[in-house]
Chain A
Amino acid sequence: MSVSYSAVGWNRQKKHYDWFIAGFCVLYLAIFITVTAIVNPDYTFETALIRSTATLALLLLHVILSIGPLCRLNTKFLPLLYNRRHLGVTMFTIALVHGSFSIFQFHSLGNVNPFVSLFTSNTQFGSLSQFPFQSLGFFALIIFFLMAITSHDFWLHNLSPKVWKTLHMFVYLAYLLIILHVMLGAIQYETNPVFIVMLAIGSLSLIVLHVFAGNKEVKKDNIQYSLQKEGFVYVCEADEIEQNRAKIFCIGRERIAVYKFENRLYGVHNVCKHQGGPLGEGKIIDGCITCPWHGYQYLPANGQSPPPFKEKVSTYDVRIEDAKVWLHPAPYAEGTERPGAILNF
């Protein structure tokens, strides 16, 4: 939410987050390599490095993919979401170390270019057991690379939130490629069931979390608001909405947040212009609706970010009759001033 692009300010929370990630990664790699060296005195450092970075990147990917649904289920996880892109860039860097070392180890110093070797050494694409699994990891790494280099808000703004979000949803394709990369590679070599069991636990956990979070959203979206009058839809009683907070209503596939602020109710589109965060789960702070995901702010009366910022969301008409809240689902143009409905008690 900036008009010009300056270096990201590392506040206290961000510093703690980044220090924790760095310490966590260094400690993980140290533990894995040290234990490998103790258990296998014949180990080679290159192999230990390739394996430690592979397992760490995969574990981080699971953490990254868990954060979204965990925040949908419990907002107390939001501090993990705010700087999630730092975790993503870290995961990419570790995956890059794994990929670079693997390409060097397995494909360099041969009779062809290492990247040519990657796609021409094993060409058994029609065989499941002999499938060239390294190419899958390579394509996943390309996706992570595109995500990492576009993780700054500069790209979010220039690509548009829709394109940016679509690009970043490719993380799920990358995850699938990585699972296949592991299943058709290391899992076919290792004989200890620990590897496949851990991979299955990780994947199942992600599926369950996403299903639960999705189910929660679907339940909310499926609430029917049948009582209508002059285009307005009855949504709730006025006292059901807390001061400076909102309730979200899904009418005609569109989510609308109704905020209570200074004795009035305001209707705004629920989707934040930054990364599509749920504005209705935010709070009014300093007179602005504040998105719970990254703290983007909008004025409740007109859906505009306070100057000099330029983000705008649609506004809606709200009416109160006998302490009942009625909402008109037709949106006004983004940033249109609406007076809001005055609470009579």
Chain B
Amino acid sequence: MRNKELQEFYIGWMEKAPVTFSKHIKKVLLLLVVVVFAAAILLAVSQKKFSSANFEFGTLTEVKGVYYEQPVPCIKVVNGKDIFGTSSYITIPLLGFGKMGAAGVISAAKKEKNTSFNQREMTLKGTLLYNDGKLLMQIDSNDKPFVHIGSVASADLLPKQEDLGLLQIKGEIVDPKCYFGVMKPGQGKPHKDCAIRCILGGIPPVVRVTNEEGATNYYLLLNESGGAMNEAVKNFVAEPVTITARAVKYDDWIVLYVKQEKGIERYSYLQEKFGSAIQYCASTCSK
């Protein structure tokens, strides 16, 4: 009698649920499993493609080249000559550990060795990160990155400068450490906070510009007098911006010397494409 009574009533503290309840729940759970696992697959395949950036975490590499501090701390590595007999090289901007620039590591090493590093031949040890033709290196004091400091380099090894004049570009400010290797994604809204933190930590800001053909170019950002402008770009990181600046090519990197005022402005695709139409609508409606 009691069992019959319980057939149509569920109590969680009993050992078994009534048959009608358990049958119903089994059907519901089966449906839930199918729907949710289908959702898992759909969500996973719908994600934006991950970039092919690489961060050689845990692997230290030694590179030999010429170190210089301007426009940003870099090491220029010459690796032979091309078919025309021209020196082939790559410039590797230096970054610190975590979300920090390399300045702290470099100044500590200078203090320790009590010497100037600028424009000297050097062997550096660090972790490489690379993407889209750009190579960067993380140096960490714990790894003793300054392996060998040689003599002052010959003038032909120093970066060749070319003034490209005034340039106006549209792009997104990213922190190069995450973008070129550490994070995926290293750009866009989800990464905005991290990019700001990296830039405020001293990592030089880079603007990423994709032209109409889909090719991407990268520019280092400095202020008009060649100083860091990390604080000044804080509120423009990871959003569409227009940058007006004097561009100077240093070997395989272009540096933009940006005026503090009006050098960087927010840019709206909608405003640019439909701005006049919006203005017309607004004025018509207000009448």
Whose C-beta in chain B lies nearest to the C-beta of A187? B189
Cross-chain contact of B49 among A20, A32, A40, A59 (Cβ < 8 A)? A40
Beta-carbon contact of A79 and B22 below 8 Å = yes
Report B25-38 CB contacts with A as 1/0, cut-off 8 Å.
10011001100110
Beta-carbon contact of A13 and B16 below 8 Å = yes
Cross-chain contact of B15 among A12, A36, A56 (Cβ < 8 A)? A12
Beta-carbon contact of B98 and A106 below 8 Å = no
Beta-carbon contact of B52 and A42 below 8 Å = yes
**Complex Cα spacing A171 to B133, Å:** 48
Interface set, chain A 1-48, CB cutoff 8 A to B: 9, 11-14, 20, 24, 27-28, 31-33, 35-36, 39-40, 42-44, 47
- Give the one of A106, A107, A194 with max B CB within 10 A: A106
Interface set, chain B 14-69, CB cutoff 8 A to A: 14-17, 20-22, 24-25, 28-29, 32-33, 36-37, 39-53
Is A88 an interface residue, CB under 8 A from the partner? no
Whose C-beta in chain B lies nearest to the C-beta of A33? B44
Is A100 an interface residue, CB under 8 A from the partner? no
Cross-chain contact of B190 among A24, A39, A44, A189 (Cβ < 8 A)? A189
Beta-carbon contact of B25 and A107 below 8 Å = no
**Complex Cα spacing A131 to B20, Å:** 49
Cross-chain contact of B50 among A9, A44, A286 (Cβ < 8 A)? A44
Cross-chain contact of A111 among B12, B28, B53, B99 (Cβ < 8 A)? B99
Whose C-beta in chain A lies nearest to the C-beta of B101? A111
Is A82 an interface residue, CB under 8 A from the partner? yes
Q: Chain B residues near A132: list those with CB within 8 A.
A: 192-193
The segment out of B79-87, B194-202, B271-279 that lies at the interface is B194-202
Is B280 an interface residue, CB under 8 A from the partner? no
Whose C-beta in chain A lies nearest to the C-beta of B104? A111
Is A315 an interface residue, CB under 8 A from the partner? no
**Complex Cα spacing A266 to B221, Å:** 80
Beta-carbon contact of A192 and B48 below 8 Å = yes
- Give the one of A39, A122, A132 with max B CB within 10 A: A122
Beta-carbon contact of B17 and A43 below 8 Å = no
- Give the one of A40, A134, A290, A294 with max B CB within 10 A: A40
Beta-carbon contact of B32 and A31 below 8 Å = no
Report the minimum CB–CB distance from B80 to chain A (whole Å): 29
Beta-carbon contact of A106 and B37 below 8 Å = no
Beta-carbon contact of A39 and B37 below 8 Å = no
**Complex Cα spacing A268 to B117, Å:** 87
The A contact surface, by secondary structure, is helix
Beta-carbon contact of B197 and A43 below 8 Å = no
Number of interface residues of B (CB under 8 A): 60
Q: Chain B residues near A290: list those with CB within 8 A.
A: 9, 11
Report B166-201 CB contacts with A as 1/0, cut-off 8 Å.
000000000000000001110011111110111011
Q: Chain B residues near A207: list those with CB within 8 A.
A: none
Is B147 an interface residue, CB under 8 A from the partner? no
Q: Chain B residues near A78: list those with CB within 8 A.
A: 10, 12, 21
Beta-carbon contact of B37 and A283 below 8 Å = no
Q: Chain B residues near A79: list those with CB within 8 A.
A: 10, 12, 17, 21-22, 25
Given contacts A43-B184, A59-B36, contact A13 B15 (CB under 8 A): yes
Beta-carbon contact of B12 and A39 below 8 Å = no
Whose C-beta in chain A lies nearest to the C-beta of B57? A44
Whose C-beta in chain A lies nearest to the C-beta of B35? A59
Given contacts A32-B40, A76-B21, contact A191 B197 (CB under 8 A): no
Is A75 an interface residue, CB under 8 A from the partner? yes
Report the minimum CB–CB distance from A24 to chain B (whole Å): 7
Report A259-292 CB contacts with B as 1/0, cut-off 8 Å.
0000000000000000000000011011000101
Q: Chain B residues near A82: list those with CB within 8 A.
A: 10, 12
Number of interface residues of A (CB under 8 A): 73
Given contacts A195-B46, A198-B43, contact A295 B192 (CB under 8 A): no
Beta-carbon contact of A191 and B50 below 8 Å = no
Beta-carbon contact of B98 and A35 below 8 Å = no
Q: Chain B residues near A154: list those with CB within 8 A.
A: none
Beta-carbon contact of A35 and B44 below 8 Å = yes
**Complex Cα spacing A241 to B208, Å:** 74
Is B5 an interface residue, CB under 8 A from the partner? yes
Beta-carbon contact of A198 and B39 below 8 Å = yes
Q: Chain A residues near B22: list those with CB within 8 A.
A: 79
Is A108 an interface residue, CB under 8 A from the partner? yes
Beta-carbon contact of B43 and A195 below 8 Å = yes
Beta-carbon contact of B200 and A44 below 8 Å = no
Report the minimum CB–CB distance from B19 to chain A (whole Å): 11
Cross-chain contact of B24 among A76, A83, A191 (Cβ < 8 A)? A76
**Complex Cα spacing A123 to B200, Å:** 13
Interface set, chain A 91-141, CB cutoff 8 A to B: 105-112, 117-118, 121-124, 129-130, 132-134
Beta-carbon contact of B197 and A106 below 8 Å = yes
Beta-carbon contact of A129 and B239 below 8 Å = yes
Beta-carbon contact of A11 and B14 below 8 Å = yes
Cross-chain contact of B44 among A39, A105, A117, A190 (Cβ < 8 A)? A39
Beta-carbon contact of A109 and B9 below 8 Å = no
Question: Which residues of B approach A to under 8 Å, CB–CB?
Answer: 2, 5-6, 9-17, 20-22, 24-25, 28-29, 32-33, 36-37, 39-53, 97-100, 183-185, 188-194, 196-198, 200-202, 235, 239
Nearest 5 CB-CB pairs, A to B? A109-B98, A82-B12, A35-B44, A110-B99, A106-B194
The 23 listed contacts between A and B (C-beta, < 8 Å) are: A31-B41, A32-B40, A32-B44, A36-B44, A39-B47, A44-B50, A47-B50, A47-B185, A51-B43, A77-B24, A77-B28, A106-B191, A106-B194, A110-B197, A132-B192, A185-B189, A186-B190, A189-B188, A192-B47, A244-B5, A282-B9, A292-B9, A295-B11
